[in-house]
Amino acid sequence: MITIKTNGQYRPVLCWEDLTSKEQGEFDSSTKEEGSYFRYKKWVYALDDVMRTDCNDALSKWDGYHGESYFSGVLVKYSRCGDAVVVGTYYS
């Protein structure tokens, strides 16, 4: 069984210039300026690292996930206009 927790709050999708220099240092320099990012629980995630959820019924209401471990990770649902995401965590 998968447990999902979210507060339903939209978080803005960020571009490279929106990140601090410390946050920028955490990403591969070859694709840095082309990517989109979001902040969640003191971490910055690259939306390029988010995988689609179309194959898992438990996560079907979400657009994608980023696995943190075999049993847990972060879920993402895009806003209609695509300039924000709702983020949640899942674990089993």
Per the structure, the count of domains in the chain is: 1
Give the start-end residues of each E strand in 13-91: 37-40, 43-46, 51-52, 64-67, 72-78, 84-91
Over 80: is that where the pLDDT of 26 sits? Answer: yes
- The whole-model pTM stands at 0.84
Residue 26 belongs to domain spanning: 3-91
Over 90: is that where the pLDDT of 31 sits? Answer: no
| Cβ 66 vs Cβ 45: under 8 Å | yes
For residues 48-63, average pLDDT = 81
75, β-bridge pairs: 65, 88
For residues 64-81, average pLDDT = 92
Query: In the chain, what percentage of residues exceed pLDDT 90?
Result: 59
